[in-house]
Structure 1
Amino acid sequence: MPHESRFDTEAATWDDNPEHEKRQVAVARSIEQAVQLRTSMRALDVGGGTGRLSILLAHNVGSVVVTDPSAGMVEVARQRILAAGLDDKVHAVRADLTTDQLDGQFDVAWSSLALHHVHDVDALLRRLASLLTPGGRLAIADLDEDPDGAFHAGKPDFDGHHGFNRERLADQLAAAGFSDITFGDATTVVRDDREFGLFLCTATQRR
């Protein structure tokens, strides 16, 4: 996941944007509706930034490891987790799951608007399949295909994906070791007076 420096710089004020909060609440509700979370579950947050999504979902699971490649984001996540009184069950670590090792197995993994920053999506999906227990659940919220790149038009250094074609992503998930792949509409993001759709994709690690 690139652009650590930009995210390091923006980490302290990231949650001040009301659109970010609105989006994370909508994604959290979508995950709660789509995935049967249990308090015995070990959860993994992929590219979790300030940890806001995991803070919203923490009461549904037993523990969460929030990962992000940005040291600034991880530091803010730790502060937010402590302030929420969740430091006994939610932990933030700096890790890029496409390259870094992570110990343990997880029952569920979730991600919100992180996948489009990942250069090698196939490698990440394979890694997630290996980190999930047999039958473990994956929930990814990200941008629907944005072929003209309008969502990131104001960020000339952006070199990720301009959203995802749902059928293509389903094929990638299947190739990585997932089944029961379903898509739904999670929410929308308004940028420059234009609405962009966010999907929620859920899948199950094949036993």
Structure 2
Amino acid sequence: MHEHERFDHEAATWDDDPGHEKRQVAVARAIEEAVHLDPQMNALDIGGGTGRLSILLADRVGSVLVTDPSAGMVEVARRRIEAAGLGDRLRAVRADLTVDRLDGVYDVAWSSMALHHVQDVEGLLRSVAGLLVDGGRLAIADLDEDPDGAFHADKADFAGHHGFDRQRLAEQLSRAGFTDVAFVDATTVLKGDREFGLFLCTATKGA
């Protein structure tokens, strides 16, 4: 099963997992602490899944465009946005930002646990840099390096990255046109009997 198909299949029950909710709440809090948000800002959610992170942050910004390559996830996100009464400010569209062109410019972009599914990380980062205003902010939450692949051991077809080395990701961001790269520990994820660390990486689109 292709990853998009797996996410299509799992979308309807994705938010039923209390671990997913706990993680998104922790990531939202970390973003609020690390990035100045204001009600004038247009935000972009990269690989936003069911839109939960953007719904949690909706009151801190003016509008959010939630993007995800999975049609199933986007459908669920649209329903969640409507149910939250946020349809006037949040939209969800099916888009893979490594290949699909978006209109508009954004003041801030965020992502939670999406980057490790992206094959062409530098291509995505360049694409996002092109969508941000000069001085725009990027906030990425993802897995610290997991060299033995334990986090995705139960996914036989997993073809993404087993977490990220912070220094290497900082170099990739720099090459894509970002400055002021910083990392904080965001939260941990319990999977099986192991805890995996999640970082929040913030960066600024260079002029």
Offset at residue 27 of structure 1 (A): 0.1
The ranges of structure 1 where at least 4 consecutive aligned residues each deviate by more than 2 angstroms after the TM superposition are none
Q: Once superposed, what is the RMSD of the aligned Cα atoms? A: 0.5
Deviation at 1:176, TM superposition (A): 0.3
Superposed, 1:15-164 pairs within 5 Å as: 15-164=15-164
Deviations 1:129-182 (A, max 9, x none): 100000000000000000000000000010000000000000000000000000
Count of aligned residue pairs for this structure pair: 206
Note the residue ranges of structure 1 that are not aligned, 5 or more in a row: none
**Helix, strand or coil for the counterpart of 1:48?**
coil
Deviations 1:84-138 (A, max 9, x none): 0000000000000000010000000000000000000000000011000000000
1:4 and 1:175 map into 2 onto residues whose CA distance is: 28
CA distance in 2, matches of 1:128, 1:73: 20
Matching of residues 183-198 of structure 1 within 5 Å:
183-198=183-198
Show structure 2 runs of 5+ residues with no match: none
What is the letter of the counterpart of residue 164 of structure 2?
F
Tell me, in whole angstroms, the C-alpha distance in 2 between the residues paired with 1:29 and 1:182.
16
Distance, in Å, in 2 between the alignment partners of 1:3 and 1:105 is: 29
Aligned partners of 2:168 and 2:70: how far apart in 1? 28
Compute the TM-score of the two structures, normalised by the length of structure 1: 0.99
